[in-house]
Amino acid sequence: MQLAKEVKYLIHKEILLEWRSKYTINGVLLYVVSTIFTCYLSFVSLGDKLTWNALFWVIMLFASINGVSKSFLQENKGQQLYSYILASPAAILISKTIYNTLLMLVLTTIALGFYALVFDTFTPPDLGMYYIAVILGAISFSTVFTMVSAISSKAGNGGMLMAILSFPIIIPVLILLIKLAKNAVDGLPWENSLDDIGMLVIVNVMTVAASLLLFPYLWRD
Amino acid sequence: MRKTWWKILGAVLVIYTTIAGLLLGVPHLAILNETIRNLYFHVPMWFAMIVLFSISVFYSVKSLSSKSEIDDLKAVESVNAGIIFGVLGLITGAIWAKYTWGQFWSFDPKQNFAAISILLYFAYLILRNAIDEEQKRAKLSAIYNIFAFPMMVVLLFVLPRLKDSLHPGNGGNPGFNSYDLDSRMRMVFYPACLGWILIGYWVYTIRFRIRTLENKHQQN
């Protein structure tokens, strides 16, 4: 019960901080929109839906690395020490993950809308299925990147290490996501995608369990 | 003798399987023909790699609780030895693929996922290089190692099954089961796996001993 209270409070704190500056959400949003626009201008002759689908996920991957890596990297030593005294490590990790998931959900939803607007040929026939892929993508990106950003923030040199450490871990998830989204673009029946959804859920549960076990060691300095 | 019997066993097994693997009879299957002998050299590399990476995760877990430098060194040296076997596995696979699929690297899912899982461990080594402070390095790299291990298992054992691959054992291509029908191959394949795992473990213990000696030398 104590944990739930702490998590709720910490999420509230994160949202409040973000709401005051609106730096991360606006920054990443501008990043996504300008990347989509650049891609549109450079790939305009490509008519293949599957290429657009892969491109969407690559854009989302880079946007979420930029968005989620903020969560630990932007906090300074004093802030971390302060929250270390106040809350349990599990509460901090859970709250960061949930907050990042919310952030990514908002971001991916807007990006998907903008993507569908810019590439009017893209709109997948099975939008519900595609949106499930987007939600699962938001969750898995935030679970993996939250932990990796914690590791790289402790290691001391942020950006490059974050990319090196997270890419090999996220590639299997990304492949599953692209496959699931491709099913939606092709308009396959839902039964075909259940395996992939289950696999993604299992990978996420595994990641969260490993993070919860390991984070206390990481947090204690 | 009591301490070194497994080293002798490993060496004898590897020599035996190299000779027997090249000389003994094999079943003649279409396309594969004589390249089927690569089973004795390619597959044991992966087994040795998995064993070494598992050892590394074991010592990473141990070093998180014990905080001893020895456990950390064991973890990193088993990764170093494991990477050698992973790269050898990729090379033997690529040479085999040249003669059966026509190309060294054809972006087959199995090849890609194996390469990515080795990238994971290169990332682990880069993470180690990025941190100067020894205790912190031990802690952070142990955490990353444990965090990455389940992903490697997914990459190597789960994802390739979901994709169409030309690799034996996938998508209707002959795999273990049809080889196993032939007891001649089993006579060579199982000793080869055991032998290469033992050799891999030996390489790891030697690397670990060199590292501890170097550390001692630096401290004096």
Q: How far is CA A1 from the centre of its chain?
A: 27
Per residue in B86-108, is it b (16+ CB within 10 Å) or e — as a string? bebbbebbbebbeebbeeeeeeb
Search chain B and give the residue with CA nearest A192: B162
Taking the Cβ of residue B150 and every Cβ of chain A, the question of whether any pair is shorter than 8 Å is answered with yes
| B127 to A161: CB separation less than 8 angstroms, yes or no | yes
- Whether B174 shows a pLDDT value over 70: the answer reads no
Taking the CA of residue A170 and the nearest CA in chain B, the distance in Å comes to: 9
Rounded average pLDDT over A80-101: 86
Per residue in A82-102, is it b (16+ CB within 10 Å) or e — as a string? ebeeebebbbbbbbbbbbbbb
Facing A210 at nearest CB: one of B120, B140, B150: B150
Asked if residue A63 lies in contact with residue A111, where contact means CB atoms within 8 angstroms, the answer is: yes
Mean pLDDT of chain B: 86
Q: Which of A64-73, A136-145, B94-103 has the lowest mean pLDDT?
A: A64-73
Confidence of residue A122 (pLDDT cuts 50, 70, 90): low
- For chain A, the domains span 2-219
| B147 to A214: CB separation less than 8 angstroms, yes or no | yes
B35 DSSP assignment: G
For residues A184 and B125, the model is more confident at B125
Q: How many CB pairs under 8 A join A and B?
A: 77
- Check residue B144 and give its pLDDT: 92
> N- to C-terminal Cα distance for chain A?
26
Confidence of residue B76 (pLDDT cuts 50, 70, 90): very high
- Whether B93 shows a pLDDT value over 60: the answer reads yes
- Check residue B171 and give its pLDDT: 57
- For chain B, the domains span 42-178+199-219
Confidence of residue A29 (pLDDT cuts 50, 70, 90): confident
In Å, how far are A210, A216, B212 from B134, measured between CA atoms?
24, 19, 14
Taking the CA of residue B149 and the nearest CA in chain A, the distance in Å comes to: 10
| A168 to B144: CB separation less than 8 angstroms, yes or no | no
- How many DSSP H helices and E strands does chain B contain? 8, 0
| B148 to A168: CB separation less than 8 angstroms, yes or no | yes
- Check residue A158 and give its pLDDT: 65
Q: pLDDT tens digit string along A126-172?
A: 788 888 899 999 999 999 999 998 888 888 766 788 888 888 889 88
- Which residues of chain A make contact with B154, given a CB cutoff of 8 A? 172, 203, 206
Taking the Cβ of residue A203 and every Cβ of chain B, the question of whether any pair is shorter than 8 Å is answered with yes
- Whether A54 shows a pLDDT value over 60: the answer reads yes
- Check residue B209 and give its pLDDT: 94
Facing A147 at nearest CB: one of B119, B147, B150: B147
- Which residues of chain B make contact with A179, given a CB cutoff of 8 A? 162
